[in-house]
Amino acid sequence: MKIRCIAIDDEPLAVKKIAGYIQKVPFLELAAECRSASEAMSIIDSTDIQLLFIDINMPEISGMEFVKSLTTKPYIVFTTAYSEYAVEGFEVEAVDYLLKPITFSNFLKAANKVKNRIDLNARNPLEVSTPAIDHLYVKSNYKLIRIDLDNIRYVESQHEYIKIFLLTGVSVLTKISLKAIEEQLPASRFMRVHRSYIVRLSEVTVVERNRIVMDGKLYIPVGDQYKETFQKFIDGMI
């Protein structure tokens, strides 16, 4: 069974290149080449499309905005000439992110990632939604930084930014919402306990007066709307 794809890019040569790559891969099927997101929308509405190879920088509506607007999302592989969009790509659960100029070998790696994910979900439809992740990438000081989940202690919201505090004692500041990072962290290991805090559950060893105490000197408050869920964790119900 082939994976039906759309190639979306406002640059004629770029969309032709992606379309050509799709036609070279035996398990992919090219459903359409589109020069805009609006053109792709009409096809998605009328055809069962499983995968989008979509450029981020396009006129009228960007590829990122288009993907965020979709109620039911196909698998997504972003293509762009600008590396600063990688973090935003992870926020919308893109399978991969290809930086132009795109080689066929990198394209094939991305296609295989999608195929592996589809095959895994087909074998375990009730158990698997997305493969477990052990790391994430964030942008800080114009760099993409890999952060292992095992190294995160807690996360604090600071206005338009969040600060990720690591077990190594360092912290990483990045411009992303607390909600966005919460969606990337596994609920079995991390919990939002306050509008401004997410904590690693294994680090919760002392609780007093609706506060989590770390190292006897760091106090993280538990917000009213999170108390019930947090109490269930404390009681061993989660």
Domain ranges of the chain: 3-123, 142-234
Answer whether residue 131 shows pLDDT above 70. Answer: no
For residues 74 and 33, what is the distance between their CA atoms, to the nearest angstrom?
16
Task: Write down the CATH superfamily of domain 142-234.
Answer: LytTr DNA-binding domain (2.40.50.1020)
Please report the pLDDT score of residue 119 as a whole number.
81
Mean pLDDT, to the nearest integer, of 201-222? 89
Answer whether residue 145 shows pLDDT above 50. Answer: yes
Q: What architecture is domain 3-123?
A: 3-Layer(aba) Sandwich (3.40)
Give CA separation, 218 vs 27, 204, 212, in Å: 53, 12, 8
Please report the pLDDT score of residue 59 as a whole number.
83
89 by Cβ neighbours in 10 Å (0-12 / 13-18 / 19+) ranks as buried
| Percent of the chain clearing pLDDT 90 (strictly above) | 44
Task: Indicate if 142-234 has the same CATH topology as 3-123.
Answer: no
Cis peptide bond prior to 101, omega within 30° of 0: yes
